[in-house]
Chain A
Amino acid sequence: MSEASSPREPEEPEEQRKASSILPESGDMELVQRARKGDFSAYDDLVRRYQERIYATIYHMTSNHEDANDLAQETFIKAFQALNSFKGGSSFYTWIYRIAVNKTINFLKQRKNKTQMSLDDLDIKAENDPDLVALVSERTPRRDSDLAELQEKLNEAMLRLSDSHRLVVTLHDVQGMSHEEIAKIMDCNVGTVRSRLFYARQQLQGYLADYLR
């Protein structure tokens, strides 16, 4: 599907912009330099800075907490070992995201047909999220469905997407990254990101039709 066939993105909602905090943080390079010189606390700072985002990306790709935990740890360990090869051509966060994404996709290729979900709990905010409450209690024809069931169906639908389509949806619609950032991480052009996103949304829409009418 070409870029032209995918519609332009509407304005990002405020909520999504809030989620889009995946910006290269200042001082990353300084921390990297210190870590290279053997200052482990500097690397620990980098881990704490990015661990939630890296974990979340992997978790949404795998729908499994234990796998996400293992892969997140391996990502940071691999990044530490490869720190000397980081030339600074891209930002540190793009670099470490690439490591995480590559590790996850390799893992998913090996795990094929052995999918077992181990979902994280929803936080308390989910029950008070007006959008979600409306989605469950008003818009959903199956009024008996609750958030937990919706969460499970949503994850099942995500797992039916191909790895590359799931990644685009995860990075854009869940994590709030821009197309340009995703293109850098996936090492492809923005048009590819847009078309993958459009196709993935269409697929998800079909899988989750009962919850979207």
Chain B
Amino acid sequence: MKSDEQNFKSLRRLLALKRHEVPPPGYFDRLAREVAGRIKAGEQSEFSGFAERFSAEASWLDRFWAVLEARPIAATLCGIAACGMLVSGLVYSEKKGDSAPIAVFMAPEIAGGVEMASQPSSAPPSNPSLTPVGASLTPSSTGGLMPSGAQSDSLFNIHPALNVQPAGHLLPAGQ
């Protein structure tokens, strides 16, 4: 063991030689400068990279504008197409809005008015099987929207829940 330690001592003295291995003079000044330079360059290239990506992605738009400027007919057609898309979008959204079950969100007075206007008061549904789908599905939630005095009304006595659904939506599809 002692000879091992002795040998290790020699080895450690030999390894001390490595401490004398040094880079060229002035190297560490350069290293610090290069690190600083690379960090700053990295930050700049990050920003310029974003700008380059944006301009690269936007180049198709530039070319598109150039084509429109060069050909007025193409510009007109594009304008008409854009307007057409806008109008059709508006029409489509209107239709979508009409088909939504809006009565659920209506005030009780309005809901009652809608129902009275759309369903004849003297002709109660003769067939109980034609009970509105919406009414049978949501009796409790619709009941909450009824006016306080509605239960005494004869119309509401027949189908108490009908007052919250517009008549157009009470019939099953196809009827």
A residues contacting B by CB (< 8 A) are: 7, 10, 13, 15-16, 19, 40, 43-44, 47-48, 51-52, 55, 59-60, 65, 69, 72-73, 76-77, 80, 119-123, 125-126, 129, 131-132, 135, 139, 147, 150-151, 154-155, 158, 169, 173-174, 201, 204-205, 208, 211-212
Contact = CB atoms under 8 A, between A and B. Distances in A.
B30 to A, nearest CB: 9
Contact of A55 (B4, B12, B23, B38): B23
A151 B21 contact: yes
Given A76-B35, A77-B35, A173-B12, 17 more contacts: A40-B36, A51-B32, A55-B31, A60-B21, A73-B38, A76-B39, A77-B42, A120-B22, A121-B21, A122-B20, A122-B21, A122-B22, A126-B20, A129-B17, A132-B16, A205-B7, A208-B11
A121 B22 contact: yes
6 contacts: A48-B28, A69-B27, A80-B39, A154-B14, A201-B8, A205-B8
Interface of B: 1, 4-5, 7-24, 27-28, 31-32, 34-36, 38-40, 42
Contact of A174 (B15, B24, B38): B15
B35 A212 contact: no
A202 to B, nearest CB: 8
Interface SS of chain B: helix, strand, loop or mixed?
Answer: helix
B15 A169 contact: yes
B146 to A, nearest CB: 60
A132 B17 contact: yes
Contacts of B4: 7
